[in-house]
Amino acid sequence: IAILVVGVGISIYYFQIRKIRFTVLHAGSLTVHMEEFEEVFESEHPNVDVILKAYGSRQAAMQVAELKEECDVLAVADYGVIEELLFPKNMATWYIAFASNEICIAFTNSSKYADEINATNWYEILLRNGVKFGHSDPNLDPCGYRAVIVMKLAEKYYNVPGLFDKLNSSENKIIRPKSVQLPPNISLGDWKCADYYVTVNVTLSGGTVKVGEPILYGVTIPSTCKHRDLAIEFIKLMLGERGRQIFVDRYLEPLDTYLTNNITSIPTELRNDPEIGSRLQQWEK
């Protein structure tokens, strides 16, 4: 606050430093992690206001690629949406796959048959009369199309002909927070099962085909980024040791090796960072 005295009158002028709006579009499943990153980053950069916007990952990528929404960092639950939606429009040339996850069946204490459901009977219970379940929109959210892939894998894994069609025809809704861990062959969370996952696929609206593969979160800096230096610092926070611990504390598994499509396109500041560069590896899919 600056106070200016003129003659016998007193005029008070308020000067407020306008903070830099730094925008991060991210998958909804990264919300708790991003809120922590926001707090840390703003404490280290008091002139920055981190704006977090959560979407389904496909929707987040479409907000950038098609709707041209302001975005400095894009972090999604499927690195593939960066390849699919941003690369063709030259809005990104690289991604870093940084964490993994898996699909589970979530329910509450009040859910029907909550005391019975397990990894061997879950699909039978979901098909019982009066049981409601569902998943997010496959065209907007990776969790949606991964849920469909899990249903296809389940039919194959449990050897129950027609199981996918029965599960996929339901229009009900799933609730949280309890869960059943699925077998690794269908959870999309085990690299050793990658050859099994790839045996099924789903087709989204518009004809995009999503093949089963392990879940991998990805991050990039869109070409439309307005604050490149801050974006690099934010990703350093995410992928450095402090960020890795934040992920672990909030139940997301960071990869020991960060996978990238094009290591030479990654900003030099990230490649040369001692906590990140040694973990980067070119990924030949």
DSSP secondary structure letters along 42-81: HHH-TTEEEEEEEE-HHHHHHHHHTT----SEEEES-THH
- Enumerate the CATH 3.40.190.10 domain ranges in the chain, comma separated: 11-100+217-282, 104-211
Q: What is the pLDDT of residue 194?
A: 84
Residue type, 51: I
Q: What is the pLDDT of residue 168?
A: 84
Q: How is domain 104-211 classified at the CATH fold level? A: D-Maltodextrin-Binding Protein; domain 2 (3.40.190)
Q: Is 253 exposed, middle or buried (0-12, 13-18, 19+ CB in 10 A)?
A: middle
∠ at Cα 6 (5, 11), nearest 5°?
60
In eight-state DSSP terms, residue 29 is G
Q: What is the pLDDT of residue 173?
A: 41
Angle between helices 31-44 and 228-239 (to 10 degrees): 120
* Cis peptide bond N-terminal to 177, omega within 30: yes
- Per the structure block, which two tokens stand in for 95? 């991604």
Q: What is the pLDDT of residue 182?
A: 82
Provide the terminal-to-terminal Cα distance of the chain, rounded to the nearest Å: 57
Q: What is the Cα–Cα distance from 58 to 79, expressed in whole angstroms?
A: 10
* Alpha-helix residue ranges (DSSP H) falling in the chain: 31-44, 57-65, 80-81, 122-126, 142-158, 163-168, 184-187, 194-197, 228-239, 241-249, 268-271
Strands (DSSP E) contained in 96-151 are: 96-100, 104-107
- Residue 189 contacts residue 199 (beta carbons within 8 Å): no
Positions of the chain with pLDDT under 70 = 1-17, 170-180, 285
Q: What is the pLDDT of residue 229?
A: 98
Q: How is domain 11-100+217-282 classified at the CATH fold level? A: D-Maltodextrin-Binding Protein; domain 2 (3.40.190)
- Per the structure block, which two tokens stand in for 164? 């996918």
Q: What is the pLDDT of residue 259?
A: 95
Q: What is the pLDDT of residue 74?
A: 98
